[in-house]
Structure 1
Amino acid sequence: MQRTLLPRWLTDAVYTIIGILFCGFALKSFLIPNEFFDGGLTGISLLIHEIYHINIAYVIVLANIPLIIMGGLQINRKFAVKTLIAVVGLGLCLLLIPYPQITSDKLLVSIFGGVFMGIGVGLAIRGGCALDGIEVLALYTGKRISFTISEIILGINIIIFLIAGIKLGLPTALYSILTYYAASRTINFVVEGLEEYTGVTIISGQSEKIKESLVIGLGRGITVYKGERGFLKDSFDISQPVDIVFTVVTRLELRRLNNTVKDIDPKAFIFTSVIKEAAGGVLKSRVRHH
């Protein structure tokens, strides 16, 4: 048992440490020297730092403690402990490592500050913890009011950027929104990677050939639903049975799958959906994110 757990812990630790270093780099080399902000709890911490001139390392650690406690209640104690260690590590990183200021160009700061922050937060997520606990707050709040987690996070970020606009000027707030967008897109890419899964549903009169091509040719697992096709406006009463084929591929494989299906049946109806998490079956094993 110990042999199987040790590499996982080491992997988590490496992801988290590198994530902390990237976040520290984004904050001290880009955002803090230029009075820029991010969304979420990091944005709140930066805002407090700019308004009250309290050391950002202390602000980030203290601001995260209530959300770490919530995380222990809402998710699990292991997550809370790992997040506490990571946040304290980020605070020490900000105190001890003398990151240089890279640039004062506002566009470069907003884009690359967000990208490096996104890399750091995303790697921490892959390590099983959180360097920004805003989603924990949204999860806790969402159980008490009738808003989705995304809506709560959006509302919190709107308040952050409104305060930033009032206190530090509208241009800074607008550039900071760009920082937040770059960070959020980078987090998604780091967490999901190139192997983000996509569910593909195929409806075709040539379903037998398509099934064979997917399984034998592409090596994909499939699920088949029994359905009916037809029901057109001019012939509503006419329909025929059809096998509805469902499979899961990575986005790198999606183009090849589409071309394969269209070669068999150019009129095939294909639609896709993003799958946030998938495991088991014939899927390739992936790096554990949580």
Structure 2
Amino acid sequence: MYNFLKKHLFCFLCVLFASLIMSFNIKTFVNAVGLIPSGFNGLSLLLQRTFYQFFEINIPYFIINISLNVFPALIGFYFIGKKFTGYSILMIIFNSFLVDIIPSTPITYDSLLVSVFGGIMNGIAIVIALYGGASSGGTDFVAIYLSYKLKKPSWNFIFIFNMLILIIAGFLFGFEAAMYSIIFQFVSTQIIEKFHQKDHKITLIIITQKPNLLSQKLMEQTHHGVTLIQGEGCYSHEQKTILYTVIGADEVRHVSHLCKKLDSSVFINIICSKDIKGQFYQKPLE
């Protein structure tokens, strides 16, 4: 019971902290030079500005953002995970109301500085949400769904969707802000790719004296397949056993510690895998 409450408290705090960062970023950096952030947050701001400028109708941000996220939330609920979608909806609600509540306090009006630092803050907010088992909603649901289907990172695919929003924004409000928004979104996407390691794959080549024990424990704890290869050390001419496996980047620390614990003389070569084809176990979201 204690671990259950501790886990949910951690998720809730991540969602709250990520919402605060994202909302503060919108009111501090994004609005300062009229940028369009990524995903449905950007689409919400675009619609809000369009209604205000062309029709003189001031629609609250939370009404637009929550309305846009209804359909993506259904995708998340049915295809990704109920717990994940629940926390994502919580973040959408927090972020939507905080954007309307937090006062606008620009730090700088330098478009390049705003694009870079605003993109960093936006990426960090999304990474924190993902660590807490949530997302900022909208296109994040689509990106995570594609990641599980394609077995590789898909945030760059969402970047293409964001470009379409920026083209529309360019025609409506001028292309200078739209081009700076590209920098903002590119920086944000690279931050997510760098720090959200779950979608990245790592190949391990393990030389061990306890192949049966290690292979059994690795399969039990990671659910990934292990291939055993017999070899010979060229220097010592001793028979060597090599274990070959592919795991998620977020599992490397745990697996390395496990191997060292079971065999103190183990040798592990850690290789970044650009892509894999075939079956690969991916733990489903709750």
Task: Report the counterpart of residue 257 of structure 1 in structure 2.
Answer: none
Pick the structure with greater CA Rg: 1
C-alpha separation in 2, matches of 1:139 and 1:192: 13
Tell me which of 148, 173, 179 is aligned to 1:174. 179
C-alpha separation in 1, matches of 2:73 and 2:3: 28
C-alpha separation in 1, matches of 2:88 and 2:190: 22
Task: Report the counterpart of residue 203 of structure 2 in structure 1.
Answer: 199
Tell me which of 103, 106, 114 is aligned to 1:109. 114
Equivalent residue letter for 2:60: N
Equivalent residue letter for 1:26: N
Matches within 5 A, 1:58-69: 58-69=63-74
Per-residue deviation, residues 12-36 of structure 1 (Å, max 9, x unmatched): 1111111001001111100023110
Task: Report the counterpart of residue 88 of structure 2 in structure 1.
Answer: 83
Structure 1 position 188, deviation (Å): 3.2
Moved more, 10-19 or 83-92: 83-92
Per-residue deviation, residues 147-187 of structure 1 (Å, max 9, x unmatched): x9668524422311211222222222221111011111222
Structure 1 position 76, deviation (Å): 2.8
Instruction: Tell me the secondary structure at the aligned position of residue 37 of structure 1.
Output: coil
Instruction: Tell me the secondary structure at the aligned position of residue 226 of structure 1.
Output: strand
1:57 aligns with 2:57: no
The aligned length equals 236
1:246 aligns with 2:244: yes
Structure 1 position 62, deviation (Å): 1.9
Instruction: Tell me the secondary structure at the aligned position of residue 36 of structure 2.
Output: coil
Equivalent residue letter for 1:76: G
Contact 2:88 2:137 in 1 (8 A): no
Task: Report the counterpart of residue 35 of structure 1 in structure 2.
Answer: 34
C-alpha separation in 2, matches of 1:40 and 1:199: 32
For residues 149 and 57 of structure 1, do their structure 2 counterparts lie closer, same or farther at Cα, with a shift above 3 Å needed? same
RMSD, aligned CA: 4.1
Task: Report the counterpart of residue 160 of structure 1 in structure 2.
Answer: 165
Tell me which of 120, 128, 134 is aligned to 1:123. 128
1:226 aligns with 2:229: yes
Per-residue deviation, residues 47-96 of structure 1 (Å, max 9, x unmatched): 21221233333322221122112211222333332222221111221122
C-alpha separation in 2, matches of 1:15 and 1:190: 15
Moved more, 166-175 or 17-26: 166-175
For residues 224 and 70 of structure 1, do their structure 2 counterparts lie closer, same or farther at Cα, with a shift above 3 Å needed? closer
Instruction: Tell me the secondary structure at the aligned position of residue 198 of structure 1.
Output: strand
Instruction: Tell me the secondary structure at the aligned position of residue 225 of structure 1.
Output: strand
Structure 1 position 275, deviation (Å): 9.1
Q: Which consecutive residues of structure 1, in runs of 5 or more, have no partner in the other structure?
A: 143-147, 203-209, 213-220, 230-240, 254-263, 281-288
Contact 1:197 1:278 in 2 (8 A): no
Moved more, 83-92 or 8-17: 83-92
TM, length-normalised to structure 1: 0.66
TM, length-normalised to structure 2: 0.67
Task: Report the counterpart of residue 99 of structure 2 in structure 1.
Answer: 94
* Percent identity of equivalent pairs: 24
Matches within 5 A, 1:15-34: 15-34=14-33
Instruction: Tell me the secondary structure at the aligned position of residue 101 of structure 1.
Output: coil
Structure 1 position 139, deviation (Å): 7.0
Moved more, 38-47 or 10-19: 38-47
Contact 2:228 2:241 in 1 (8 A): yes
